[in-house]
Amino acid sequence: SEFMEKHSVARLIGAPPGYVGYDEGGVLTEAVRRRPYQVVLFDEVEKAHPDVFNVLLQVLDDGVLTDGQGHHVDFKQTLIVLTSNLGSQALSQLPEGADAAEAKRDVMDAVRAHFRPEFLNRLDDMIIFDRLTRDDMSGIVEIQLRRLTARLAQRKIVLELDEAAKHWLGDAGYDPVYGARPLKRVIQRDLQDPLAEMLLAGDVMDGETIQVSAGENGLIVGERVLASNRPRPEGASLH
């Protein structure tokens, strides 16, 4: 979405001579020039301006891109990954466990309708990911919790969640359409923010172990039921 406008090309390869920012170079060409061995990700590439695709065509075809200053930047050691949400509705509307073959054909139809053939022909491979299911959530919950426990470890606070708490987070953070995207908000609202409130109130001290479970009304942290709709004190946050 950063590259939806026509001037996005100047951001990628640098402004031409006589324009503001000429000496700065492009965000793409400068990054690859300095570190050619890297992965470049274009997220939701279908939103990019058509002129951006002309730049990508040159990179994918020749492996070289000329920046705004006339320098040739070598992309031959760079791995370029493009993601897209085109046709995702066909997958999101599938019942869990259903055969996704027809839905994947619909996805490819949407991709071919949006992108030019010469662009698609320059891609080495196209991978259609299956939609996330509830069974996938347990691993994602573990990944997200590791980030929180690492922050708490800076204060020597140990956070221990039982299986009931992890299952509750996975269930509350799952959406059939958006997959695991709501999970971060659920952890922030129902675990991280209340923990920050307890730290400010002095209910949790450095070096303590906090036990987390789940009951009918939500998470139970240190034998304390935390209602997600309770107002948070000003300044209560956990970074």
Give 76-140 as a DSSP string. Answer: TT-EEEE---TTHHHHHTSPTT---HHHHHHHHHHHHHHS-HHHHTT-S---PPPPP-GGGHHHH
CATH 1.10.3720.10 correct for 134-225: no
Percent of the chain with pLDDT over 70: 83
> What is the structure's pLDDT at 111?
94
> What is the structure's pLDDT at 139?
93
Domain ranges of the chain: 8-120, 134-225
Alpha helix stretches (DSSP H) within the chain: 8-13, 27-34, 50-62, 88-92, 101-114, 117-120, 137-153, 163-172, 181-187, 193-201
Asked if 185 contacts 178 with a C-beta cutoff of 8 angstroms, the reply is no
Which pTM value belongs to this model? 0.69
**CATH superfamily name and code, 8-120:** P-loop containing nucleotide triphosphate hydrolases (3.40.50.300)
> What is the structure's pLDDT at 6?
58
> What is the structure's pLDDT at 233?
37
**Rounded distance, CA 207 to CA 153, Å?**
9
> What is the structure's pLDDT at 231?
39
**Rounded distance, CA 127 to CA 184, Å?**
26
DSSP, res 208: -
Residue ranges of the chain with pLDDT lower than 70? 1-8, 15-25, 97-98, 223-239
> What is the structure's pLDDT at 235?
43
